[in-house]
Amino acid sequence: MTELERLRRLFAYDAWCHRRMLAALRGFQGEARRSLKQFGHILVASRTWLARLRGEDTSGVDLWPDLDVLACKRLLEENAGGFEALFAGLKAEELNEPIAYTNTRGERHRTPRIEILQHLVLHSAYHRGQLTQAFMAEGGAPVATDFILFVREHPPA
């Protein structure tokens, strides 16, 4: 498996995790305010980085929005489709090319595409742990999102 194929697989895993979390949030009977805040952050941060990878302006983005389940679903699917399109047009030699962007504090940076993509998967995993804690604190059951579960369900071609 090439590096680009492995990254694409990790993003498929990430979307799989998000869909599992969304299903749990949709089925939750109680108040999931903290959980939705965490989930919204994960999705908006991914959307923000996707926009940066496309060369789009991300100034004024609220990284901690108040989203409902329906807004999360829309954003999740937009992100998944956006990353699929990004990977479809990305060449292996472009992975190490730096992307120029301005962060939410107005600071300019240049980071190689591959490191941004790796950051996104790690960022999601980090906040999914927080999301799981919030969801359990609000009365929900933990959602299994281990990579090995994804691998078993989606073996490499």
Could you give all domains of the chain from N- to C-terminal order, each with its CATH number? 3-151 (1.20.120.450)
Q: What band does 101 get if pLDDT is binned at 50, 70 and 90?
A: very high
Given a cut of 80, whether residue 157 has pLDDT beyond it is no
Mean pLDDT of 80-109: 95
pLDDT digits 0-9 by tens, 12-25? 999 999 999 999 99
pTM over 0.85? The answer is yes
Given a cut of 90, whether residue 153 has pLDDT beyond it is yes
Mean pLDDT of 118-140: 94
Furthest-apart CA atoms within the chain: distance in Å:
48
3 state SS of 153: helix
Given a cut of 90, whether residue 39 has pLDDT beyond it is yes
Q: For residues 14 and 149, give the distance between their C-alpha atoms in angstroms, rounded to a whole number.
A: 12
Tokens of 119: 């950051």
Task: For 92, list phi and psi in degrees, rounded to 5.
Answer: -55, -40
> Residue 156's pLDDT is what?
87
Average pLDDT, the chain: 94
Task: For 60, list phi and psi in degrees, rounded to 5.
Answer: 80, 10
Given a cut of 80, whether residue 30 has pLDDT beyond it is no
